[in-house]
């Protein structure tokens, strides 16, 4: 044996090895991921941005909502939404697979990797996907002329931040799940669906009755959309609200990761 006992060490920052495993896993879906990253923005922008946009400008003029074209209005929301969706897919499915379907986390845990390393690696893997899809999305938005103002580039980190904070919370949520049918129903139908539709994505949040506005307030998508609109076309928000938006997402990120790290460890050593 070439390595003596004393030479064996526990690797520092084990999450990078899990990240490597995740990236290898994602590479198998490379073409699916690329196709989604490109088609998602194109199809939504043409269909909703231009299609619904035409109906709106027929009725209230080309700059009817928030003083900009409908495409420009929904662009930052769609960008953040794709970040959130991508991040969610890449934490939820690997976590279900790791704990339940293929039980790969238990294999990882029998090496020096801890629960926190594994959770961290899965999270970082999701961030790689998020950065990729946000990158592709913003190039397409730029080509559509929806990111023309000088500060538009800020919408990119904002969207990634939104993906990270929602991804962290979903990582924590998924790590508790034993009944996946129930979980996917709740997430798809009661969390992601309403979030997409009622976060001021397609019209200003205050258009909605106050009871429905509540969905927006607790949704990272709304917070990211407000910031994104501020960056891309100077949508007016107060300095205090900028702080609130950032703080809300930061809290989701930190709390989500903290719970996930703890619960991964707990479930692996149960």
Partner 1 sequence: MKTSRAVAIAERRVGQPGERYYAGRARAVMERSFIAFRSSTWLIILSGFLEPVMYLFSFGYGVGKFIGDIDPGTGTMISYAAFIAPGLLATSAMNGAIYDSTWNVFFKMNESRLYHGMLATSLGPMDVALGEIGWALLRGFIYATGFTIVVAPLGLIPSWWGVLAIPSAVLIAFGFASLGMAVTSYFKSYQQMGFINIALLPIFLFSGSFYPLTVFPGWMQGVIKVFPLWHAIELIRGLTLGVVNAGMLTHVAYFLVMIICGLFFTTRRLNALFMR
Interface residues with partner 1 (CB under 8 A) are 28-29, 31-32, 35-36, 39-40, 43-44, 46-48, 50-52, 54-56, 58-60, 64-65, 181-182, 185-186, 188-190, 193-194, 197-198, 202-203, 207-208, 212
129, 30 in Cβ contact below 8 A? no
Distance in Å from the first CA to the final CA of the chain = 34
List of E strands, 43-191: none
Q: Distance from CA of residue 59 to its chain's centroid? A: 34
CA 46 – CA 141 distance, rounded (Å): 11
Q: Could you tell me the smallest distance in angstroms from the CB atom of residue 31 to partner 1?
A: 7
CA 225 – CA 215 distance, rounded (Å): 14
Q: Could you tell me the smallest distance in angstroms from the CB atom of residue 12 to partner 1?
A: 34
- List CB contacts of 147: < 8 A, sequence separation 6 or more: 75, 138, 141, 153, 155, 232
Q: Could you tell me the smallest distance in angstroms from the CB atom of residue 266 to partner 1?
A: 26
Long-range pairs of 56-65 with CB within 8 A, sequence gap ≥ 24: 65/203, 65/204
User: Dihedral (C-alpha) 66, 72, 74, 80: value to the nearest 10 degrees?
Assistant: -120
Q: Could you tell me the smallest distance in angstroms from the CB atom of residue 103 to partner 1?
A: 14
Q: Which is nearer to partner 1, 26 or 108 (CB)?
A: 26
Q: Could you tell me the smallest distance in angstroms from the CB atom of residue 29 to partner 1?
A: 6
159, 223 in Cβ contact below 8 A? no
CA 173 – CA 23 distance, rounded (Å): 22
Q: Could you tell me the smallest distance in angstroms from the CB atom of residue 55 to partner 1?
A: 5
DSSP H or E segment with residue 212: helix 210-217
Q: Which is nearer to partner 1, 180 or 255 (CB)?
A: 180
Encoding tokens for residue 104?
A: 């790969």
């Amino acid at each position: 044996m070439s390595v003596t006992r004393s030479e064996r060490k526990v690797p520092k920052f084990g999450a990078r090895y899990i990240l490597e495993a995740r990236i290898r896993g994602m590479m198998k879906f490379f073409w699916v991921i690329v196709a989604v990253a490109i088609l998602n923005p194109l199809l939504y922008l043409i269909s909703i941005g231009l299609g619904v946009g035409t109906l709106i400008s027929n009725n209230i003029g080309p700059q009817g909502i928030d003083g900009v074209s409908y495409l420009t209005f929904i662009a930052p929301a769609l960008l953040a939404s794709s970040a959130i969706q991508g991040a969610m897919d890449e934490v939820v499915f690997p976590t279900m697979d790791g704990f339940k379907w293929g039980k790969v986390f238990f294999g990882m845990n029998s090496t020096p990797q801890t629960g926190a390393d594994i959770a961290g690696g899965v999270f970082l893997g999701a961030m790689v996907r998020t950065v990729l899809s946000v990158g592709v999305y913003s190039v397409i938005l730029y080509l559509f002329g929806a990111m023309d103002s000088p500060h538009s580039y800020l919408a990119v980190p904002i969207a990634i931040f939104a993906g990270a904070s929602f991804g962290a919370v979903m990582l924590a949520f998924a790590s508790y799940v034993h009944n996946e049918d129930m979980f996917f129903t709740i997430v798809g139908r009661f969390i992601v669906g309403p979030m997409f539709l009622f976060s001021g994505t397609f019209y200003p949040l205050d258009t909605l009755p106050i009871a429905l506005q509540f969905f927006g307030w607790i949704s990272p998508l709304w917070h990211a959309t407000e910031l994104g609109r501020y960056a891309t076309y100077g949508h007016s928000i107060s300095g205090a609200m900028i702080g609130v938006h950032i703080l809300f997402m930061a809290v989701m990120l930190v709390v989500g990761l903290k719970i996930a790290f703890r619960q991964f460890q707990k479930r692996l050593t149960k």
